[in-house]
Chain A
Amino acid sequence: GAVVSQHPSRVICKSGTSVKIECRSLDFQATTMFWYRQFPKQSLMLMATSNEGSKATYEQGVEKDKFLINHASLTLSTLTVTSAHPEDSSFYICSARVQDRGSYEQYFGPGTRLTVT
């Protein structure tokens, strides 16, 4: 299967600072990547869909100025949490789509645990 990596795996930052999370597709090109957050014992919540070379599409209720997404290349998307606050502490997971001749698969990265103190 396709491999998606994320960096860092864990980050602790102080309230008011910004944090950048990188998501890379290692063995394929991803025109579309997705960013999710997950709270303990809950399912995945889609935050935004990012398409290479264009602006991200944010889900309702997600602040686009707070969660900046950049998808500058076919193998890299970044999520920047700006002016982080404790309520932004969560597990952030990226995902990349592989679509080929009618088949569709979506692979996830290992996740980034963000703790804001």
Chain B
Amino acid sequence: RKEVEQDPGPFNVPEGATVAFNCTYSNSASQSFFWYRQDCRKEPKLLMSVYSSGNEDGRFTAQLNRASQYISLLIRDSKLSDSATYLCVGNTGFQKLVFGTGTRLLVSP
């Protein structure tokens, strides 16, 4: 079983929709999590850090459920520009960052 697992998608949603991705992790020692956004052939860019139960930034909300060992990312009012791959990252210790393989989101007009 992979340490961090994501549904690869793609998730196809219309503009304005709400979409949620889940990311499951197997290492209960994971201390923090990050969501990154990656556009095609570009580097990952930090979207959100999650150190406790969750975090919210505008249209984006991340929720951490330690009991069930998953972290979710909710995007409200999807924009065309949200089309990208979203990477979930778990941190079990400073140099022990584990990346999921990403969930692809396609937002259509």
| A, B in one complex | no
